[in-house]
Amino acid sequence: MRKNSVKNTRINTEVQRVLAEIIRGEIKDPRISPWTSVVAVEVAPDLKSCKAWISVLGDEETRKATLEGLKSAEGYIRRQLARTVNLRNTPQISFIMDQSIEYGVNMSKKIDEVMAQDLETAGNRPETDGEVDL
């Protein structure tokens, strides 16, 4: 895998920041959830394409509606990106749903449940005070 240059890393960071501002404050589409965040952005070295990973807090229906809303507003988002970020080419944006935050929350809940079960079973065991029966 090719390593990102410093310039490409700066471009990715700036595009991510601007996309988050556009999605949060400028798009009026009711399908787009207010709990939408841009997790990561990867702009191709030739500046022709861009992958934007987004995360939406909510159920599956909310995520699908938000993705549809973003895809329909892609032209507007691209135009605003071109006005804000001075690049040789304005990249074509493709939005990808990122499940990593949801996955982490679910894993944390499962760990908490297992820990609670462990405490319950430890409370039901008789105390031996270090004595071992043989």
Q: How far apart are CA 50 and CA 27, in angstroms?
A: 19
pLDDT for residue 72? 92
Give the model confidence (pLDDT) of 16-65 as tens digits. Answer: 999 999 999 888 889 998 889 999 999 999 989 999 999 988 888 999 99
Residue 5 pLDDT more than 60?
yes
CB neighbour list of residue 29: distance below 8 Å, 6 or more residues apart: 69, 72, 73
What CATH superfamily is the domain 6-98?
K homology (KH) domain (3.30.300.20)
- For residue 1, name the pLDDT band (cuts at 50, 70, 90): very low
Separation between Cα atoms, residue 7 and residue 97, nearest integer Å = 26
Return d(Cα 61, Cα 83) in angstroms, integer.
32
Q: Letter for the amino acid at 39?
A: V
pTM recorded for the entire structure: 0.71
* Six-digit token string for 99: 């499940």
Indicate the domain borders of the chain: 6-98
